[in-house]
Structure 1
Amino acid sequence: MSDDTPTSDQAPGAPHPRETLRIFGQDAAEQAFLSAYNSDRLHHGWLLSGPRGVGKATLAWRIARFLLATPPADDGGLFGAPPQPETLDIDPDHPVCHRILAGAEPGLAAITRSLNDQGRLRGEIVVDDIRKLGRFFGLSSADGGRRVVIVDAADELNVSAANALLKMLEEPPARTTLLLVSHQPSRLLPTIRSRCRTLRLSPLGPEDVQAALAQTETEIPAQPDHLAALAAGSVGDAVRLINLGGLEIYAELIAILGTLPRMDRQRALALATAAAQRGAAERFELLLTLIDVALARLALTGATGAAPSPEAAPNEAEILTRLSASPHQARRWAEVAAVVTARGRHGQAVNLDPAALVLDTVFKIQEAAGQNR
């Protein structure tokens, strides 16, 4: 695959998970895997679940490096069995690491959404992607070593692909470990979930997010608290926010909310126009997400009697508290959030004009603010 080919398992602007040697904030998941490995209870199927962007794919590639670079214990050797590993760390100069970075490790197969005949990324993993594993198992079985398969993300399997993968989980090839990355395990076949051991990854704390960002060489913004509030413990979301100007978009959105109940329509129009610019599809998607976030934080403010902390934008706490000062207003904002989210996703699905969709959303919010007075 060429360097300019789009991939579905890499956050925009971030290194690919295979290039990320360290993982932060997921010690419990890593130790759970090591415990199984060291006690000879290494399951053939592992489900790595948790919110998007918390390190599931990074952990999958880290496990793959470890399994392929760590020789099996040999109790019959002259010097006895080697000491049990205490970490998944592998020397970056190990040949397995070099081969994985080059995409040339024969013991590893990565399954993601592939390209269609027009060279565009498919919306799902198809059965042909899974059937390729048959050839992979045939080619790599002669060396007698371990084999690892990473599926990222398993949520994207269509029905035929899911059933094909299920057969492999039911009758796994010898010395093979399947690592399934899943953002929403409820979307998987129950039979797939039941045949995997689950490693649950949690959102990262602010310090771990900053450490992970430093590893990706992403510049930390001047308002790290704002980033922490919006990223909600997801390094992937943090990278996306930084690269797409998400902090600035959210600050402008909150400033517009601050003009309610008499909306500053010029600022709203400018926000909508920016979302409709050519090539701004990712920023438009981010704007819709940030509108959802703002409405959720409005509802939370009224329900709890206090604005979420830390703030995600300048003066956010004062603005949210004024607009959502009671449980009644919180319920109203929650209802608006449900309507706005549904209308926004429908508008995307039918390719409505982005500017018109954003304005419609903003005016719906203005209407709710007037009713909440």
Structure 2
Amino acid sequence: MINDIVSPPTYDTIEGIPTPSANDFLAGHQDNVEFLVQAYKSGRMHHALLLEGPQGIGKATFAFRLAGHILQYPQVVHAPLHLNKPDYTTSLYRQIAGGMHPAVLHISRPFDQKTSKFRTVITVDEIRKVTHFLTRTASDDGWRIVIIDPADDMNRNAANALLKTLEEPPAKALFILISHSAGRLLPTIRSRCQALRFKPLDNGSMRETLSRIGSHVGLDTGNADYMQSLLARSEGSVRRALLMAANGGLEIADTADAILAAPVFDVPKAQNLAQVLTGREAEVQYHLFMEHMLNLIAAKACKYAQDGFVGAADAWSRFWHKISDEAAETMTYNLDRKQAVMLVLQKTHLATHGDLFGAM
């Protein structure tokens, strides 16, 4: 990690935490590391990689690490069979970290100057930069690497624009698509990529990573009980653990769980939680709550599927999609978040206590 280079902020930047382009520590995922390093060394690496897995487990850090590896060793015969740790004393890695390397294009949600916020989608204008980037910089016969993070956020026009480039990729161009929810990608895009599944980090990797960077958000890694609860709630995602530690995420999850567990829906308690989650400075807390609720619903669907109750699994899956769509509409159209919190709590409480179809 480096302190003297300012990396371009993105929609998911956490204050005090290095961005993936400036992060020199990568935990886990050794099977994917070895596979791609060997694929590159042998000259058999696919021109489009799809890195799939939950948010916050190191996919973007891995993408930038791989980009640096390829640019450091443009001739595959010289490439080692391990992924080098970034050396931020060199111009190569300093340029990558600062978003200034001419051979690396990072596409993410654009910043809207009018609203002073990052947009909720990747637009077609952002994808058009890819064509310009590949055309403008192809004269030196070097590698050109496009990182789209996350590809799930492309709207339909953006996805269709990217598809055209993936169908006829230029020589020595590598696309790295990062996906937190691959089901949101066009099947035609998926079919043109080599997918690699990244698993949530195990507790050992989580502890190691959080011990390195957790102090930046006030994380007390020496508190065994707190850490055990945080690891259980964060589900192998470093990002989720950091956000929960910095924004009262454990308290939010515990309160929501208590409301859902009660036999009678506790309106005053739900209203108090909704008030906390929808204050002027509570955007992160609101997202943590919605993510927690969606994870609970998804877990229900998975459990029913594993136990062989296909009908129930399908119903809970449809319920997840309904809540997810409503949450997205609240964000897109700037609807009343307090009402959104109350509704998702009421509907999930109703579903949890036996009336799933009534909740839908």
- Whether TM exceeds 0.5 here: the answer is yes
Q: Displacement, 1:145?
A: 2.3
Aligned to 1:114: 110
Q: Judging changes above 3 Å, is the alpha-carbon distance between structure 1 residues 62 and 344 closer, same or farther for their aligned structure 2 residues?
A: same
Q: Judging changes above 3 Å, is the alpha-carbon distance between structure 1 residues 130 and 351 closer, same or farther for their aligned structure 2 residues?
A: closer
Aligned to 1:176: 173
| Equivalent position amino acid for 2:126 in 1 | D
Q: Distance in 2 between matches of 1:340 and 1:234?
A: 25
| Equivalent position amino acid for 1:341 in 2 | I
Q: Judging changes above 3 Å, is the alpha-carbon distance between structure 1 residues 99 and 224 closer, same or farther for their aligned structure 2 residues?
A: same
Q: Displacement, 1:133?
A: 2.7
Q: Judging changes above 3 Å, is the alpha-carbon distance between structure 1 residues 5 and 104 closer, same or farther for their aligned structure 2 residues?
A: closer
Q: Distance in 1 between matches of 2:304 and 2:158?
A: 45
Instruction: Identify the match of residue 149 of structure 2 among 136, 148, 152.
Output: 152
Aligned to 2:93: 97
SS of residue matched to 2:50 = strand
Aligned to 1:8: 11
Q: Distance in 1 between matches of 2:124 and 2:353?
A: 51
Instruction: Identify the match of residue 252 of structure 1 among 244, 255, 266.
Output: 255
Instruction: Identify the match of residue 278 of structure 2 among 270, 276, 279.
Output: 276
Q: Equivalent residues in 2 for 1:287-302 (5 A)?
A: 287-293=289-295
> Does 1:345 find its partner at 2:341?
no
Q: Displacement, 1:342?
A: 6.2
Q: Displacement, 1:180?
A: 1.0
Aligned to 2:228: 225
Q: Judging changes above 3 Å, is the alpha-carbon distance between structure 1 residues 120 and 334 closer, same or farther for their aligned structure 2 residues?
A: closer
> Does 1:234 find its partner at 2:231?
no
Q: Displacement, 1:154?
A: 1.3
Q: Give the unaligned 5+ runs of structure 2.
A: 356-360
Q: Distance in 2 between matches of 1:233 and 1:197?
A: 24
Q: Deviations over 1:41-62 (max 9, x none)?
A: 1221111111222211111111
Q: Judging changes above 3 Å, is the alpha-carbon distance between structure 1 residues 220 and 39 closer, same or farther for their aligned structure 2 residues?
A: farther
Q: Equivalent residues in 2 for 1:54-133 (5 A)?
A: 54-73=57-76, 82=78, 84-116=80-112, 118=114, 119-133=116-130
Q: Distance in 2 between matches of 1:210 and 1:96?
A: 30
Q: Is the 8 A contact 1:254 1:294 kept in 2?
A: no
Q: Judging changes above 3 Å, is the alpha-carbon distance between structure 1 residues 146 and 344 closer, same or farther for their aligned structure 2 residues?
A: closer
Q: Judging changes above 3 Å, is the alpha-carbon distance between structure 1 residues 250 and 40 closer, same or farther for their aligned structure 2 residues?
A: same
Q: Deviations over 1:328-352 (max 9, x none)?
A: xx99x96997599369637835655
Q: Displacement, 1:202?
A: 0.7
More deviation, 211-220/121-130: 211-220
Q: Displacement, 1:85?
A: 2.8
Q: Distance in 1 between matches of 2:352 and 2:185?
A: 39
Q: Is the 8 A contact 1:9 1:153 kept in 2?
A: no
Q: Is the 8 A contact 2:244 2:250 kept in 1?
A: yes
Q: Judging changes above 3 Å, is the alpha-carbon distance between structure 1 residues 177 and 290 closer, same or farther for their aligned structure 2 residues?
A: closer
Q: How many residues align?
A: 339
Q: Is the 8 A contact 2:298 2:317 kept in 1?
A: no
SS of residue matched to 2:13 = coil
| Equivalent position amino acid for 1:249 in 2 | I
| Equivalent position amino acid for 1:230 in 2 | R
More deviation, 227-236/358-367: 358-367
Q: Deviations over 1:232-256 (max 9, x none)?
A: 1111211221121101222333445
Instruction: Identify the match of residue 196 of structure 1 among 178, 193, 197.
Output: 193
Q: Hey, which of these two has a bigger chunk of helix by percent?
A: 2
Q: Judging changes above 3 Å, is the alpha-carbon distance between structure 1 residues 225 and 116 closer, same or farther for their aligned structure 2 residues?
A: same
Q: Judging changes above 3 Å, is the alpha-carbon distance between structure 1 residues 32 and 257 closer, same or farther for their aligned structure 2 residues?
A: same
Q: Give the unaligned 5+ runs of structure 1.
A: 74-80, 306-326
Q: Distance in 1 between matches of 2:8 and 2:145?
A: 23
SS of residue matched to 1:216 = helix
Q: Is the 8 A contact 2:52 2:180 kept in 1?
A: yes
Instruction: Identify the match of residue 55 of structure 2 among 30, 52, 57.
Output: 52
More deviation, 29-38/178-187: 178-187
| Equivalent position amino acid for 1:52 in 2 | Q
Q: Equivalent residues in 2 for 1:17-28 (5 A)?
A: 17-28=20-31
More deviation, 130-139/293-302: 293-302
SS of residue matched to 1:40 = coil
Q: Which has the larger radius of gyration?
A: 1
Q: Judging changes above 3 Å, is the alpha-carbon distance between structure 1 residues 272 and 116 closer, same or farther for their aligned structure 2 residues?
A: closer
More deviation, 120-129/265-274: 265-274
More deviation, 139-148/236-245: 139-148
Q: Displacement, 1:177?
A: 1.2
Q: Distance in 2 between matches of 1:290 and 1:61?
A: 29
Q: Displacement, 1:3?
A: 6.7
